[in-house]
Structure 1
């Protein structure tokens, strides 16, 4: 009944046992190599290659996670067609990891898949009394087939081929009530509130698991957020109403003035889905609804940590190239962050649509770099003195606004207005930076991650590296992972490096633009941003200086973009 539930929507810990099984003998690698790029296609073209397996290993090592958990996290939140529990079961069966296949069959309340009659994968009878009786009549070196035929009645009492319901009814065989052994307590999806695909479609919205009471005073929400008078608290029911109960599809409703109102889902990320809704007072709002049941971290508190970071930091930022926050909601089953709705889509979508001119791309890069410069706080001493004086005049200017690391710079997190003004968003991974290297477990996007990021080293230079990947995307029109003719995927940096041995990339420039005039300068800047040694990469201030020259725009004496 639950075979169509997406992996990313499963309750916390649902796949912990599966992940543990796949860690044995590195069986996760077999599974990963068989994951199809398109689960609905018959050609079964693989989604991942050896380079991706290595990336998973490196990332798991740096974060102290199981490789299988990292794989589930990446696979479950990537691609247009998201894998379901049924997709996972099919891949695991093809990989012939039968223990994991049996676990999944139990979760789905299906009969276990057929096994070979002999060999290591053959089913073993689990009736202890029967096995003890057989031990006196059969030699220890007998085959599995011989042992299975030992029951004179021809009706062995085995759990091996029983469904979960049958096992639960046999109280003399096993009980599922031991809280000290969670591996025996299979999740009851109906109790947890997971709805079938038909139910979700009929109701027109997604449900969330009420794992945390966010409305209580001791819910873990940062006091600085609760006391911030600039932030508006929205009732969850109100957000639910304007988004058409968090509808899974985007809807347009025309009004009498011909303006029209948007409602429903506009995007999705690793920590939550983003919806739009029209508010009578505030206009169109972007509502990021955090998931309280992130599968792979096994800690629902991760949603709370992301919420605290993003709301607290966004409330401090006032810059034309950073998405403005309006408020939040904490009185419902899921935390929500409410921001101004940016109506031009993301840079990722615009590049894919092939509609951006060279001038627009240059202005977007410059605006994004200005946003990063603001976050990083790379001021000259003179500018710092001016900003301090400005703070004395304007008490709303926070002294904490500088020295941040965004942590997840990518084209999907650069939103555009209709006039193509870029605005950085998604600050759930942002960290305040104190000029020293921070050893931590990064959770950025793998394709954009700097080499040192895999080892847990976080400085502002990881944002610079990610910006270098964005530069290559803007120049080439390619995705951060490039599909090769043999079906494999390669990171865009490595692809460009191999395709441009003499640093000449004219042949790779996005052909949508008839004549590039600044391609060489942008590629030179990209190579500087992508230096392996982070100390060799430019600062965000230096990037802005270069882009002002490339764009032919006079650099302003002071940063007048705050407000």
Structure 2
């Protein structure tokens, strides 16, 4: 029984039968794509008018079309049903029948729009244009007959009774004017033999035209030669077409036949650089060239190079093919820009087929392997040596790729817990998607730029700009390359600027959740570059009590983070720990001291002043009667307060800006 519907009914509540009817209409000629292409990101609650505008961009892009098509093949459902499932359950304002009818009419899908209006809403069908493909087609035969003048035609007599002789026909047309209401007489002419002498020759007028290009002349003359041979019944040998010289103009000087053969052979060079054999050589020994049903011996095309499969293997048994394919897949050759060939391991990818919403370029796993000497784990010293290893963290190892693009880049090869199978819902995939889709939009001088990614190989890979100065954590512990106190102040300011930008750069705050000295890199001038965004989280609203699983490094985590309470204030706490490291040069965790973590250790040894633990080997921390060490310690204490009392990172950045009005001279 039909249930009365209204325009406010959400399409997700439609009965499956109605959805299937719409799917049958929209599946024709992939009409669902026309609907999907004009769906805006936001829908109105008080009106069904929903147009794409500058401030209301399309909801779906080309990758979403591919996702729906793949899901249709996988789940054996129509693309329209999958689109309705996705669109109908997304957005703050759910799409309704009113929105659907408006968009269908806007896309000129009037058959589907009429179904929604008439069959579901019991309304008048939407108005159609008067002209064009979408105009309503008249099906009233009475109206067609009236407008075309068919009603004025009299009864039709049998054809045999109205066929006159040639004489009567001549008399009829010379003495009488045919009536408008009478069908013209049908004339059957006698067959007259025509002799060649009766044919009137029409003179051919030659018209001057623009000069024809050499390519056009070649095409014309070649086609004429082939046509003449075919008309004469002679079929040219295919092998002779490869060896015969090309056509020449009469005005051109003749070319030696040997040069022509060389030119012909060079035109058919294979990928390996060797010349292709004459096609006549491809004939099986028992076949003659005149046999039109011959099967070419494809093995003759097989070069020495192992990059092209052996066609003779196609005749082998299934077991032989399987073993041969396994050996081929076990290795793959790459050519580096310096001209060195080497082998690298290749595996079938355990990764899911991802469609990422990003404009970043995708590099194949093979390209990254070739650029990093097959991810050589020897420490990088210089480009001439084979080592490319830069460092390792909790989520992956980083390798230098000096010639992947026009400048050196760092390739992060992410660790996989289960290398045999990775799903789209796994944490590593979500972190990878986070970093690729979200971080590509964030650009700041104190953020490491993401330049590309790879998701078609043995594991996920990320391509970053290469920052040559190393990690802040290592520089703080390196006595031979210590950072002076003024450089540390500048690093603190640069890091605070990067974090505050993540929090406020867009309307939705982005929480880093893993700020630590190991994730702060230094460039050649010791400027801070924040990196490693695998744990970033978009805060869905400005509320600061979003509960989720605890992630991060324990020494830098605030007390509420262990309870799963994630907010922008978590990054403030972590930054306070970084400030303590800059002041003391102590590691964040040390199990040989009484306070394992640096926060507890500082609390045990310092009260109102940082003096007992301040690293004075890097300078006095004082200038112009200002104790910068103490000022920085007071700021660190504010960052380590309980959540409600902590300043935002914007406030922290402003405090450091006031403390360091200009870059300090080193």
Match of residue 65 from structure 2: none
Distance in 2 (CA, whole Å) between partners of 1:208 and 1:509 is: 51
Q: For each residue in 1:63-95, what CA deviation from the matched residue of structure 2 results, as whole angstroms up to 9, or x when unmatched?
A: xxxxxxxxxxxxxxxxxxxxxxxxxxxxxxxxx
CA distance in 1, matches of 2:662, 2:614: 23
The partner residue of 1:330 within 437, 443, 455 is: 455
Shift of 1:314: 1.6
| Cα distance in structure 2, aligned partners of 1:208 and 1:454 | 40
Match of 1:293 in 2: 417
How many residue pairs get matched? 313
Name the counterpart of 1:551.
660
Partner in structure 2 of residue 521 of structure 1: 631
| Match 2:496 to one of 353, 366, 369 | 369
Q: Does the alignment pair 1:474 with 2:582?
A: yes
The residue number in structure 2 matching 1:346 is 471
Partner of residue 540 from structure 1, selected from 616, 639, 649: 649
Partner of residue 506 from structure 1, selected from 577, 599, 611: 611
Aligned match of 2:350 in 212, 215, 220?
212
User: What pairs with 1:37-48 in structure 2 (closer than 5 Å)?
Assistant: none
Aligned to 1:150: none
- Return the offset for 1:341: 0.6
Shift of 1:375: 0.4
Provide the C-alpha distance between the structure 1 equivalents of 2:647 and 2:529, rounded to a whole number of angstroms.
Answer: 21
Indicate the residue corresponding to 1:496 in structure 2.
Answer: 602
Change over 3 Å in CA distance of 1:452–1:294 after alignment to 2: farther
Q: CA deviation at 1:272?
A: 1.4
Q: Is residue 209–residue 293 contact of structure 1 (8 Å, CA) maintained in 2?
A: no
2:408 maps to 1:284: yes
- State how far apart, in whole Å, the 2-side matches of 1:526 and 1:253 are: 39
1:506-549 superposed Cα distances (whole Å, 9 cap, x missing partner):
12011322312211000000000001x21100111111111112
TM-score by length of 1: 0.52
- Structure 1 unaligned residues grouped into runs of 5+: 1-192, 194-203, 255-259, 379-398, 555-563
Q: Tell me the SS of whatever aligns to 1:415.
A: strand
Distance in 2 between the 1:270 and 1:497 partners? 28
Q: State whether structure 2 residue 375 is matched by structure 1 residue 250.
A: no
Aligned ranges for residues 152-163 of structure 1 at < 5 Å?
none
Q: Quick one: distance in 2 between partners of 1:267 and 1:489? A: 28
5 Å-filtered alignment, 1:82-93, equals: none
Does structure 1 conserve the Cα–Cα contact (< 8 Å) formed by 2:373 and 2:386?
no
Residue in 1 that maps onto 2:289? none
Contact 2:378 2:386 in 1 (8 A): no
Q: Secondary structure of 2:402's match?
A: strand
Structure 1 residue matching 2:434: 3-state secondary structure: helix
Larger Rg: 2
In the TM superposition, residue 262 of structure 1 has moved relative to its aligned partner by 8.0
Aligned residues of 1:271 and 1:294 also touching (Cα < 8 A): no
Q: Greater RCO between the two (CA within 8 Å, min separation 6)?
A: 1
Partner of 1:415: 521
Cα distance in 2 for residues equivalent to 1:459 and 1:207: 43
Structure 1 vs Structure 2 CA RMSD: 2.8
**Counterpart contact for 1:205–1:247, Cα < 8 Å:** no
Q: How do 1:176-255 residues align onto structure 2 when only pairs under 5 Å count?
A: 212-214=350-352, 219=353, 221-225=354-358, 228=359, 231-254=360-383
Q: SS at the partner of 2:534?
A: coil
Normalising by structure 2, report the TM-score: 0.44
Q: In the superposition, relative to structure 1, how do residues 528 and 298 fare at CA in structure 2: closer, same or farther (>3 Å)?
A: farther
Q: Which of 518, 528, 532 does residue 426 from structure 1 map onto?
A: 532
Cα separation, partners in 2 of 1:484 and 1:290, compared to 1, 3 Å? closer
**Aligned equivalents of 1:525, 1:246: Cα separation in 2:** 42
Q: Partner of 2:570 in structure 1? A: 462
Q: Which runs of 5+ in 2 are unaligned?
A: 1-329, 331-341, 623-627
**Is 1:269 equivalent to 2:393 in the alignment?**
yes
CA contact (8 A) 2:584 2:615 kept: yes
Q: Distance in 1 between matches of 2:418 and 2:644?
A: 35
